[in-house]
Chain A
């Protein structure tokens, strides 16, 4: 076991109650209780349902995490928690639990940025982050390109989605194709037997005039609408829709834009390492395309394993451990949950 502080991380920004425990860069446990099945019949995450589930899951998940990691709560050196961005009511449950732990243990509390935690988690898998690195975070809640100089202090936003998040587009297109929620894994699976050039779906914000203002920004709303129109037109004409071809062509359009812009940003910034995180990073086509295109430019790609890409407590603990190691100032006990915490605020 490596040295370093024993840090417990809590993540409740959406529908998963995540508790992770790390020692330095070593992951000891990553426990997740998900309420995704309670949301499935609503076709999306219902904030009140998520908040109720967080309250019920918190103590059992803490207990399971400690047991599996073979640590006692009293051994914990610091507590980290996602303070934002995310669903306000859901964040609040995690932040209150983290404060109770910090207060009950007499240990420091770090309220951290969810996006910075998605970046820091890769240290558990691939060791210290290259500085600087270019992070692309893609999930149901975010689609961002970030320049990361030092994940504990400076994260500079280069671009973000101007409408839907990438994962949101996957969910909406999956629903349209009659695939279950959450859509990402189902589209990925359906796409494997489909033809990715069957339909030429639009690539948002890649036209020359869009690039002037939105070079590193994304837009997936037009793509989602184009898929809907295409499917509806076939249905009206009484034709059968080849779900795998639509899934593959849609996925290709998303991955094409994401990787093109990430590599353009890295080249422009003179950065040799791209880190991909967030739930959409689990997409097999995105990983393959990013690696192929980056290699052609001499850029390295780091992607944590899928379990660490989705929202989890380990990523919060990983960032917490780095904050402790670098001697950053902890948060105060009146720390608020901030549903729109800016990416430039790593510790609230």
Chain B
């Protein structure tokens, strides 16, 4: 997608972390950006934040010509709020929906702001003492994303994301942003700085459920 080809505005949001980030891009630049204040309230905060960025930019819903969403990986509940919102907005506004791996957004911001260069990793919180991890070369993903234990992927490379703050022994060299921003997500999509995906969640984990083999006694 070439710069300025959007015509109207691109609405971008990411819900793959505890916070919700929302931005509007007019094809030239980010014209509005907001971040939620309360963690783990994706379902309550996303729609009002979308309304707010539209109002901030003096835009209306009919101006939205594309939607961009972070596909994760991230905690499932919040991730789904972002994806179902993006898909449904795409349907009702009759506009395309683009998804980007949330780790790629962090990587592009880290490279563009000069925080890292060459080889580096992005590691975010996957809870359960694990991280979501991908490796990059000059901002291009070369491996991952995977979900893994920090000790198994300990590295002296610079690490973008919350990983180094959570697991300093595994990741001693922090660098770049710790959380994704929707403004950068919008730039990544408008400038096609990363692979554009279908809006499918990157769960990386199966649901916790145990198949039943035999009827259990009830008494």
State the A residues within 8 Å of B (CB).
41-43, 46, 48-49, 51-52, 54-55, 58-59, 62-63, 73, 88-89, 92-93, 95-97, 99-106, 172, 175-176, 178, 224-225, 227-229, 232, 332-337
**Which residues does chain B contribute within 8 Å of A54, judged by CB atoms?**
80, 84
Q: B43 near A46 (CB under 8 angstroms)?
A: no
Q: Which of B46-65 contact A (CB under 8 A)?
A: 46-48, 50-51, 61
A-B contact pairs, 11 of them (CB 8 A): A48-B76, A55-B83, A92-B81, A96-B84, A96-B85, A97-B85, A101-B92, A103-B47, A225-B219, A227-B218, A335-B44
State the B residues within 8 Å of A (CB).
41-48, 50-51, 61, 76-77, 80-81, 83-89, 91-93, 201, 203, 207-212, 215-219
Interface centre among B41, B84, B89, B203 (most CB of A within 10 A): B84
Q: B76 near A96 (CB under 8 angstroms)?
A: no
Closest 6 CB pairs of A and B: A104-B92, A48-B207, A100-B88, A228-B218, A99-B47, A43-B212
CA A172 to CA B203, docked complex, whole Å:
32
Whether A55 contacts B84 in the complex (CB less than 8 A), given A100-B47, A228-B218, comes out as: yes
Q: Which residue of A lies closest to B215 (CB)?
A: A175
The residue from B46, B209, B216, B218 contacting A96, defined by CB atoms under 8 A apart: B46
**Which residues does chain A contribute within 8 Å of B41, judged by CB atoms?**
336
Q: Smallest CB–CB gap between A292 and chain B, Å?
A: 31
Q: B218 near A176 (CB under 8 angstroms)?
A: yes
Q: Smallest CB–CB gap between B15 and chain A, Å?
A: 9
Q: B91 near A73 (CB under 8 angstroms)?
A: yes
**Which residues does chain A contribute within 8 Å of B208, judged by CB atoms?**
48
Q: B215 near A337 (CB under 8 angstroms)?
A: no
CA A171 to CA B48, docked complex, whole Å:
41
Q: B209 near A42 (CB under 8 angstroms)?
A: yes
Q: B209 near A58 (CB under 8 angstroms)?
A: no
**Which residues does chain A contribute within 8 Å of B215, judged by CB atoms?**
175-176, 178
CA A100 to CA B208, docked complex, whole Å:
29
Q: A46 near B209 (CB under 8 angstroms)?
A: yes
Q: Which residue of B lies closest to A76 (CB)?
A: B92
